[in-house]
Copies of this chain bind each other. A is one copy, B any other.
């Protein structure tokens, strides 16, 4: 089928750019983190909490926001004092390594963590390596505990799983054991529980910050 062939060609080019990004991040003492998740999974709220935790530890963060058209999330990070950049994909369903290459140069950032908030999509972003050093998925509890059984490429692709909106666990009957069993069939990624509504109790964000800090310091 012609579309499969073409997809491979695009992916081949993407791999080249991803490799270039990886080298550039290393040279700049930057840890790049790709944040993925379904629409409304709470990527932005989680990311804001994580940036604040890292800031308190003296680690600088910058944010590249991927969105189809809007700039809502980028403004939020700019208002909070973080260096941020918008990538409008103009309807495209993922961010690719080439657009990150261009965006990263414009960001002009070194010695810290660059978070890339991907487009809300549990499918296509798992096919595009950005050259990142860490891949996080935010999975909201109301999405349901069956998602690792259904979105297999994405749940195989990630290094860290962040459960969000955990205050709704009882209300929606989320079975963490069932979710984790599905994940473990694919992946040994650690699972952290978070809740943006009760950030004081959001011990999970602290744990993710520990992990990001350790990863940053090891580059």
Contact = CB atoms under 8 A, between A and B. Distances in A.
A144 B38 CA distance: 12
Interface stretch (A50-58, A65-73, A101-109): A65-73
A121 B93 contact: yes
A213 interface: no
A150 B10 contact: no
A121 B6 CA distance: 22
Nearest to A146: B72
Instruction: Please give the count of copies of this chain that the complex contains.
Output: 2
A81 interface: no
Interface in A100-140: 119-124, 140
A149 interface: yes
Contacts of A91: 123, 152-153
Nearest to A150: B70
A204 B147 CA distance: 26
Contacts of A123: 68, 91-93, 119, 121, 124
A171 B122 CA distance: 25
A109 to B, nearest CB: 25
Contact of A124 (B69, B70, B93, B146): B93
Contacts of A72: 146, 149-150
Interface in A27-70: 38-40, 67-70
A69 B168 contact: no
Contact of A122 (B10, B120, B143): B120
A177 interface: no
A123 B92 CA distance: 8
Nearest to A119: B123
Nearest to A144: B40
Contacts of A146: 72
Contacts of A40: 38, 140, 142-144, 147
